[in-house]
Amino acid sequence: MDKKNQFRLFSIITCIFLLTTTITIAQPYHYTSIFLPLNPNTTLYVGGTGPNNYTTITEALSNATNGDTIYVYAGTYTEHFTINKEIILLGEHRDTTIIHGGTTHNVIKINANNVTISGFTLHHGLIGVYSVNAQNHIITHNKMLNNWNGIGLYNMNTAIISHNIINNNYFEGINPTQSTNIVIKRNTISSNLQGIFLNQATNNIIKQNHISGNSRGIEIRTNSNSNHIYHNNILNSIEDNGFDECTNTWDDGYPSGGNYWDDYNGYDNNGDGIGDTPYSIAGGNNDDNYPFMNQLSFNDPPQQPTNPSPANGATGVSISPSLTVTVNDPDNDLLTVSFYNASDDSLIDQLTNVPSGTQPTIIWPNLANQQTYYWYVIADDGQDTNQSPTWHFTTSIYSNLPPYQPTNPTPANGTTGISTNPALSATVIDPDNDLLTVSFFNASDQSLIDFVIDVPSGSQPTITWPNLSNQTTYYWYVIVDDGEFTNQSPTWHFYTGNQANIPPTYPIITGKKQGHANTEYTYTFTAEDPENQEIYYLIDWGDQTTSGWIGPYPSGLSIQESHIWDYGSYSIKAKTKDSEGAESDWSPVYPISMPKSLMIQIIQNRPVMQLVYTFLIQLLRVW
């Protein structure tokens, strides 16, 4: 057995050991991980201050019950734990909410149903997230770095693994074993042994992933049948882009197409973007019948608009009502939101650059009294659209209508650098122009801060919240009351004082790991800055030369730099800094080799051969 197969066998045996051995674990947005409204009554906090706050995630888990959300503020948490309750575990930001697994344990093990994990960097564990004997898991918008395996699933039924970055894990990036109905989509998977490894896994979907720089891109073994793999970019694999010894479908038919393979050598004579001949998958008799000629770009459409106001079927609505919906986009794209009169499909009004997770509002003016009106909303992310159901309401000017939800908070939601005696204000509107009582509350304990009476509709009442602590996050909301009905604002937050600048992440490096001496090779470097500052890169090529600081480049943009090496083995590493000079750590080294050919080794190691070689060169010059 050659060394390559010995290493692969060792990998499989190791993974089986991890899956079948009980490991003892101590018990006890504008990017946000995913948009989830936080209910103060069912949310536990980690790393903050005030009620329901805990120092460690393990401590919060021990106090949580089914249905709770655990919200973890940015920071580094050195711990590992088991989730055995139906919860949502939500990090503030996946680049700055970091869990270090201690290298000898799984970072997060899940053996409960209905669990969501989002918004974390999970590194230096055996497995970043390990789901066992359960169903209905969502693992999204995380980073899995420098573990043995990125995500492991054993005996799982139904899960969504999406929008994760899974890099530089020693074995599999994602490894479903004896699992079914798993959707693996929109992940970036690079520099692992196998990007995705299916073992006794059936009826799963793998789509819209970018899989690059692994030993094998996707590997499928041991009765892993009836899986559907399509619309992926699979490239720069050291061994095979795809390997499948089972029976699976590697395309979505024509014209939907299959996958992009960088080693596909076919032609596209009819110009439809799909190769005219199949791409053969190594390991068995599977083909991608419709391989793409160029790399794919991915977009998830907006979600269907929801939560209409006025509510569907409402009566007693003003003759100039505000129309409001909730819009969400899985990619956090800015949206164009258009409101339509369903009776004739005419546009009422349109709002642009609407953030995902918000509630855009327009006015539909000058309606007739005691009439029923039908309306709908279309959300557009620039590539795809989604239309709401058709809703209706009936107008009346004779009954009292509740005030609208307070909006436009000051300080703005998420603001930092706020004084310890801030003025709080919000815009309040009543469709009947009633005078309002406006009450301001501390969301941490539901206590009243202050209130203002006889507030005119359309104004911005203001109070002062005195004697706050410096460098602390505070949560607040507003309730408006017209004497008959009330309406509560969302919960907003601000931070007193200024937060320290956070350096960018260290770069993720991708490119060839073996080549020829004196040949130029290009490598890709990618990093992000938590404050979205521009980034500078410093590259150490491993041959006592560096690039010097280059840049600046936008946060998250992948850059490419080239270099030439002499014969030998080298370790590339890189670091970043932001526009304020805050530097990241050096990245893990990226080993490459430029081996000598066998002929050159023989010539250099044998003096007689060197003389023969020199004589032949001189003879050729004479000729």
Instruction: Tell me the three state secondary structure of residue 307.
Output: strand
Taking only the tens place, the pLDDT of each residue in 188-203 is 999 999 999 999 999 9
Closest CA to 92 of 121, 124, 50, 129: 121
Which of the four pLDDT bands, split at 50, 70 and 90, describes residue 606? low
Provide the token pair at 296: 């794919």
Closest CA to 216 of 199, 233, 191: 191
Taking only the tens place, the pLDDT of each residue in 233-282 is 999 999 999 999 999 999 999 999 999 999 999 999 999 999 999 999 99
The answer to whether 505 touches 576, Cβ cutoff 8 Å, is yes
Taking only the tens place, the pLDDT of each residue in 286-319 is 999 999 999 998 888 999 999 999 999 999 898 9
What pLDDT is recorded for position 416? 86
What pLDDT is recorded for position 532? 87
What pLDDT is recorded for position 10? 37
The residue among 544 and 20 whose pLDDT is bigger is: 544
The answer to whether 287 touches 272, Cβ cutoff 8 Å, is no
Chain centroid to Cα 434, Å, comes to 45
What pLDDT is recorded for position 604? 56
Provide the token pair at 607: 């003096």
Taking only the tens place, the pLDDT of each residue in 570-604 is 999 999 999 888 899 999 999 999 987 555 555 55
- How many whole angstroms separate alpha carbon 547 and alpha carbon 545? 7
- How many whole angstroms separate alpha carbon 123 and alpha carbon 394? 56
What pLDDT is recorded for position 28? 26
What pLDDT is recorded for position 531? 82
Closest CA to 509 of 593, 595, 591, 564: 591
Residue type, 421: N
Residue 470 clears pLDDT 90, i.e. is over it: no
Contacting residues for 364 by C-beta, under 8 A, at least 6 apart: 320, 321, 322, 323, 339, 348, 349, 373, 375
Q: Which domains does the chain have, with CATH numbers?
A: 43-248 (2.160.20.10), 321-395 (2.60.40.3580), 407-496 (2.60.40.1220), 508-599 (2.60.40.10)
What pLDDT is recorded for position 324? 96
Q: Where are the alpha helices (DSSP H) in 393-491?
A: none
Taking only the tens place, the pLDDT of each residue in 150-185 is 999 999 999 999 999 999 999 999 999 999 999 999
- How many whole angstroms separate alpha carbon 187 and alpha carbon 556? 15
